[in-house]
Amino acid sequence: MIFVENLNKKYGPIHVLKGLDCHIREREVVCVIGPSGSGKSTFLRCMNGLETITSGSIVINKHRLDDSKSDINLVRQEAGMVFQHFNLFPHLSVIDNVMLAPLKVAKTSKAEARAKAETLLAKVGLEKKMNAFPGNLSGGQMQRVAIARALAMNPKIMLFDEPTSALDPEIVGEVLAVMKDLANEGMTMVVVTHEMGFAREVADRVLFMDEGLIVEEGTPEQIFSAPQNARTQGFLSKVL
Amino acid sequence: MFRAFDWQDLIPLLKGAWLTIQLCAVSGVLGIIFGVILGVARTSPSKIARWISTIYITCVRGIPILVIIFFIFFGVPLLFPGLELDKFVSAVIALTCFAAAYVAEIVRGSIESVPKGQSEAAEALGLNYWLKLRYVILPQATKIMVPPGVGFIIGLVKDSSLVTVTGLIELTHAGNIVTNLTGDPIKTFLVVAVMYFVICYGVSLLGRLYEKRTGIHVDPLKLPETAGV
């Protein structure tokens, strides 16, 4: 489903991603962990074209991201993205946030887009907040709306960029619960996270990144119980 | 021989004020339309669009408005023989050229003030450049551009007095004519000043009304107390 080959990303002289290779299969949940500045978010942002690739290739569902002929907006419709700071549109109500892309990009009818938005908001437990504006929601509620908004385009893959990092500890659980439900439904997910408990419980595979490289990868059991690489061991000893 | 300033003198002044309002309304609206186009071009991904708008804005902002008025009124008929521009049309063209450059900078600043995350979220949903601009960026930028925009339009009303050099009988020119008849510049220009104030205050009220309707108005007299002071 996602093929990453020799992915390099440079910001001027700074080499952020140093030749990543990775294959993510359909219905797989992959958590990317690692210290700050290791390139996790940049890796994720490269996957939906928010960052341009310096060299290498990313293929998502037969769309090559490094090919100037491929339509990046088509790739983005297949790979929904959830951000650390939610990035809801503050001038639109909750339901309008969710309906915007289906109406304007997918060109679905208003009735159909509304029905779908209502279903998704019910799914994330926010059917009563449909007409509220983002400014009146808590962080956890905003992130759940952001998940519903990304799901409204029927993506085949969901990319999560530290979705709980900006939340108060007591409301992290409500967002993780929604993500667990998604994983159980078979959604292909790539999650950059510092929530080790979530990675351990939900991930099929964990990638540990450091200094722009995937240093180690394996099942949660392998990574958390018997890490092989000294850098993975050092990182986990600090966070667990 | 001078005669005393009386109520009859209000008629030419009111006519002048009405012409000033018409002049500013037309050039203000046109200036906003062209300013938005230039401002959007200034932030667009197209290099050519950015270049054209940058050159225009930099040139116009570097020239005094009086020079623009003289150029349009005296220069254009020389450049295009046979083309006779009406005084009002000349003034509208000059003020529109001037306004567009300044509005464009307000628009650019407002677009750039919208957090980058908004643009990324729109792109991540598959919205192309124009959809992103129309449904995500401009609605948020509009709220930011209203207060400086209103300030600029008020400035435009006052700057419009410069078109008096073309002979167009707008408010300042009308004041001059009445002064020549009455020899009483104090009363005349006091009335002219009050009329300008009323027009500018009207623009300010319209801006505040828009801000209240869109929920962005903050009453400076009712600011919350600073914490800890």
Kindly state whether residue B42 falls inside one of the protein's structural domains: yes
Q: pTM score, two decimals?
A: 0.85
> Could you report how far apart the first and last alpha carbons of chain A are, in Å?
31
Residues 6+ positions from B148 with CB-CB distance below 8 Å:
B106, B109, B110
- For A95, other C-beta atoms within 10 Å of its C-beta total 22
Size of interface A-B (CB pairs under 8 A): 59
Structure tokens at A81: 């993205």
For A175-189, the pLDDT digits (tens) are 898 899 999 899 999
- Domain with residue B64: its CATH number is 1.10.3720.10
Which of A61, A65, A74, A105 to mutate to probe the B interface, most B CBs <10 Å? A105
Contact residues, chain A, for B133 at CB < 8 Å: none
Percent pLDDT > 70 in chain B is: 93
Whether B124 sits inside 8 A of A80 (CB atoms) is yes
- CA distance linking residue A126 with residue A177, whole number of Å: 14
Kindly state whether residue B100 falls inside one of the protein's structural domains: yes
Measured in whole angstroms, how far is the alpha carbon of residue B36 from the centre of its chain? 12
Which of A89, A100, A107, A136 to mutate to probe the B interface, most B CBs <10 Å? A89
Q: In which domain, by residue range, is B36 found?
A: 7-226
DSSP strand pairing (A55-60 vs A63-64): antiparallel
Whether B126 sits inside 8 A of A90 (CB atoms) is no
Q: pLDDT category, B219, cuts 50, 70, 90? A: low
- CA distance linking residue B11 with residue B13, whole number of Å: 5
Which single residue is written with the structure tokens 């500013």? B24
ipTM given for this complex: 0.90
Residues 6+ positions from B128 with CB-CB distance below 8 Å:
A73
Q: Which of B115, B123, B126 sits opposite A153 (nearest CB)?
A: B126
For B173-188, the pLDDT digits (tens) are 999 999 999 988 999 9
B118 at interface of A, judged by CB pairs closer than 8 A = yes
From the CA of A89, how many Å to the nearest CA of chain B? 7
Q: Hey, is A15 helix, strand or coil?
A: strand
CA dihedral over B168, B174, B180, B186, signed as positive or negative: negative
Whether B127 sits inside 8 A of A87 (CB atoms) is no
For A35-90, the pLDDT digits (tens) are 999 999 999 999 988 998 999 999 998 888 877 777 888 888 889 999 999 999 99
B174 at interface of A, judged by CB pairs closer than 8 A = no
Kindly state whether residue B2 falls inside one of the protein's structural domains: no
For B65-110, the pLDDT digits (tens) are 999 999 999 998 889 888 888 999 999 999 999 999 999 999 999 9
Q: Give the full edge-to-edge strand order of the sheet including A14-24.
A: A14-24, A2-11, A55-60, A63-64
Q: Which of B118, B126, B143 sits opposite A89 (nearest CB)?
A: B118
Contact residues, chain B, for A48 at CB < 8 Å: 124
DSSP class of residue B133? Answer: I
How would DSSP label each residue in B52-89? HHHHHHHHHHTS-HHHHHHIIIIIHHHHSTT----HHH
- CA distance linking residue B89 with residue B87, whole number of Å: 5
How many structural domains compose chain B?
1
Whether B124 sits inside 8 A of A149 (CB atoms) is no
Which of B125, B127, B136, B140 to mutate to probe the A interface, most A CBs <10 Å? B125
For B124-158, the pLDDT digits (tens) are 999 999 999 999 999 999 989 999 999 999 999 99
Whether B121 sits inside 8 A of A87 (CB atoms) is yes
How would DSSP label each residue in A16-77? EEEEEEEEE-TT-EEEEE--TTSSHHHHHHHHTTSS--SEEEEEETTEETT-TTS-HHHHHH
- CA distance linking residue B192 with residue B188, whole number of Å: 6
Kindly state whether residue B1 falls inside one of the protein's structural domains: no
B136 at interface of A, judged by CB pairs closer than 8 A = yes
- CA distance linking residue B51 with residue A130, whole number of Å: 43
Nearest C-alpha in A relative to B116: A87
Whether B117 sits inside 8 A of A83 (CB atoms) is yes
